[in-house]
């Protein structure tokens, strides 16, 4: 199968500044008063923000027991469980359907991310949205590492030693297509080469630098953000 060419008409956002954190982008997309399911909520810091600032109701799912205990004081409800077990999903389904499901820095840690997304579809209201972030293995820093014949895991980042799956824009998009999710919006958190980024900002300013990164998101996107809906709408 031939690799699809990058289509410049893809809905990459051109307004966000490249240094804006991917989590900051996500929370801006959550409507006020939403009933939210946050997969992999960690200690609940995003849940806490959504409840206080967006007046949301947030159910957090977290595998780590210590983190889930800390999150109990920040989220509306916490389920300590494994997203790859039916027991956890039975508990989630028991709460009804959600307006928003957030899967931020989660799918790359799963053995079967596509199965998790299929289960998410069942937990989403017909007009609901999924906010998904994924690391981009096509980022220039990964390509540079490959060019020198190196592949080793790190404590964090693109080669986090807990990552089980690796994604590019195209493989992520294909996964969504295959399970019946429609991508409505795509954005990213850019990470450029430090020296070049400094020169670009001095010459072009922040907006100009952002436009430069949007020339090839496949190269400069460190993390990707997808807003998806079910295909039955």
Q: What angle do CA 4, 9, 12 make, to 5 degrees?
A: 95
More confident residue, 191 or 227: 227
**Domains, the chain, with CATH or none:** 22-136+164-191+218-230 (3.40.50.150)
> What is the rounded distance in angstroms from the CA atom of residue 137 to the CA atom of residue 147?
13
Q: What is the mean pLDDT of residues 159-184?
A: 91
Per residue in 76-110, pLDDT (tens digit) is 999 999 999 999 999 999 999 999 999 999 999 99
pLDDT per residue as tens digits for the range 215-225: 777 788 889 99
Q: In what order do the strands lie in the sheet with 98-104?
A: 77-80, 57-62, 35-39, 98-104, 124-135, 221-230, 181-190
What would you report as the CA-atom Rg of the chain, rounded to the nearest whole angstrom? 18
* Ranges 58-72, 81-95, 196-210: which has the least confidence: 196-210
Q: Are 138 and 168 in contact (CB under 8 A)?
A: yes
Distances (CA, A) of 26 to 47, 85, 100, 182, 199: 12, 26, 11, 18, 29
Helix axes 113-122, 169-178, angle to 10 degrees: 50
Lowest mean pLDDT among 59-68, 95-104, 148-157: 148-157
Indicate if the pLDDT at residue 134 is higher than 60: yes
């Amino acid at each position: 199968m031939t690799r699809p060419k990058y289509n410049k008409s893809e809905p990459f956002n051109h307004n966000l500044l490249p240094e804006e954190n991917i989590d900051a982008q996500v929370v801006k997309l959550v409507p006020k008063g939403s009933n939210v399911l946050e997969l992999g909520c960690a200690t609940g810091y995003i849940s806490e923000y959504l409840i206080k600032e967006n007046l949301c109701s947030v159910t957090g799912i977290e595998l780590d027991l210590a983190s889930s205990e800390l999150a109990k004081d920040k989220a509306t409800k916490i389920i300590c469980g494994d997203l790859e077990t039916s027991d956890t999903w039975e508990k989630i389904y028991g709460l009804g359907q959600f307006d928003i499901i957030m899967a931020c820095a989660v799918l790359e840690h799963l053995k079967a991310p596509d199965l998790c997304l299929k289960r998410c579809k069942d937990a989403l209201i017909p007009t609901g949205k999924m906010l998904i972030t994924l690391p981009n293995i096509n980022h220039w820093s990964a390509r540079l590492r490959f060019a020198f014949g190196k592949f080793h895991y790190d404590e964090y980042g693109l080669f986090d030693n807990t990552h089980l799956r690796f994604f590019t824009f195209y493989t992520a998009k294909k996964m969504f297509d295959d399970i019946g999710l429609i991508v409505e919006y795509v954005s990213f958190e850019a990470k450029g080469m430090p020296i070049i980024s400094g020169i670009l900002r001095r010459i072009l300013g922040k907006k100009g630098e952002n436009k430069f990164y949007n020339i090839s998101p496949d190269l400069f996107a460190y993390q990707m953000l997808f807003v998806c809906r079910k295909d039955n709408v």
